[in-house]
Structure 1
Amino acid sequence: MKNNKASISLLLTIVFLITSLFSMKNAYANQLHSDTQHNLIANGGFEEGLEGWKTHNQGDYEQWAGLAEFSVENGELKVEIKQVGWAWWHIQLYQEPVNVAAGTYKISFDMRSDVERTVYVELTGSGVARQDFVVDNTMKTYEAIIEVPSDGSYKFMFGLGREPNEEILNTPYNIFIDNVKLIMVEEVEEPEEPGEPKEPGEPGESEEPEEPEEPEGPGEPGGSEKPEEPDEPEELGDGENDVSEDKNEGIVKTGSWLDFRTLVLVGILLFLMGGALTLKRDVKNKGIIKRIIIQKLKNMI
Structure 2
Amino acid sequence: MKLFFLFSLFLISIISDAQTNLIKNGGFEYDLTNWNGQENGALSPYDKKSGKNSALINQYTGAEWRAFDQTVSIAKNTYAVECSAWMKAEGIENQKEDYKAAAVIIEFTNSADKQVGTETIARAKGTTDWVNYKKAIKVPADAKKIRVMLALAQTNGTVFFDDIKITTLSEEAFSKLNSEAK
Give the TM-score normalised by the residue count of structure 1: 0.45
Cα distance, 1:18 vs structure 2? 3.9
1:205-220 to 2 correspondence within 5 Å? none
State the partner residue of 1:190: 178
SS in 1 for 2:5: helix
1:129-140 to 2 correspondence within 5 Å? 129-131=118-120, 133-135=122-124, 136-140=127-131
- Match of 2:88, as an amino acid? R
State the partner residue of 2:103: 119
1:176 maps to which of 140, 146, 160: 160
Instruction: Say if 1:39 and 1:84 are closer, same or farther in 2 by CA, change over 3 A.
Output: farther
- Match of 1:41, as an amino acid? I
Q: Does 1:145 pair with 2:122? A: no
Whichever structure has more strand as a proportion of its residues is 2
Q: Is the 8 A contact 2:104 2:148 kept in 1?
A: no
SS in 2 for 1:128: strand
SS in 2 for 1:27: helix
Q: Does 1:105 pair with 2:81? A: yes
Alignment: residue pair count: 155
Cα deviations by residue, 1:264-286 (Å, 9 ceiling, x for unpaired): xxxxxxxxxxxxxxxxxxxxxxx
Cα deviations by residue, 1:162-219 (Å, 9 ceiling, x for unpaired): 1xxxxx54xxx4322111111122223435547xxxxxxxxxxxxxxxxxxxxxxxxx
Q: Does 1:73 pair with 2:62? A: no
Please provide the CA RMSD for this pair. 2.6
The ranges of structure 1 where at least 4 consecutive aligned residues each deviate by more than 6 angstroms after the TM superposition are: none
- Match of 1:104, as an amino acid? A
1:47 maps to which of 29, 35, 45: 29
Q: Which runs of 5+ in 2 are unaligned?
A: 47-51, 93-100, 110-114
Q: Which structure is larger by alpha-carbon Rg, 1 or 2?
A: 1
Q: Is the 8 A contact 1:85 1:161 kept in 2?
A: no
2:8 maps to which of 15, 18, 24: 24
Cα distance, 1:73 vs structure 2? 1.3
Q: Is the 8 A contact 2:34 2:70 kept in 1?
A: yes
Instruction: Say if 1:183 and 1:45 are closer, same or farther in 2 by CA, change over 3 A.
Output: same
Cα distance in 2 for partners of 1:132, 1:23 equals 39
Cα distance in 2 for partners of 1:151, 1:122 equals 12
Q: Is the 8 A contact 2:84 2:132 kept in 1?
A: yes
SS in 2 for 1:38: coil
- Match of 1:54, as an amino acid? N
Instruction: Say if 1:175 and 1:33 are closer, same or farther in 2 by CA, change over 3 A.
Output: same
SS in 2 for 1:25: helix
SS in 1 for 2:148: strand
Q: Is the 8 A contact 1:104 1:145 kept in 2?
A: yes
Cα distance in 2 for partners of 1:179, 1:70 equals 15
Give identity over the alignment, percent.
17
Cα distance, 1:23 vs structure 2? 2.5
Cα distance in 2 for partners of 1:178, 1:145 equals 18
Give the TM-score normalised by the residue count of structure 2: 0.70
- Match of 1:92, as an amino acid? A
- Match of 1:100, as an amino acid? I
Whichever structure has more helix as a proportion of its residues is 1
Cα deviations by residue, 1:35-59 (Å, 9 ceiling, x for unpaired): xx221111212222222222165xx
Q: Is the 8 A contact 1:69 1:82 kept in 2?
A: no
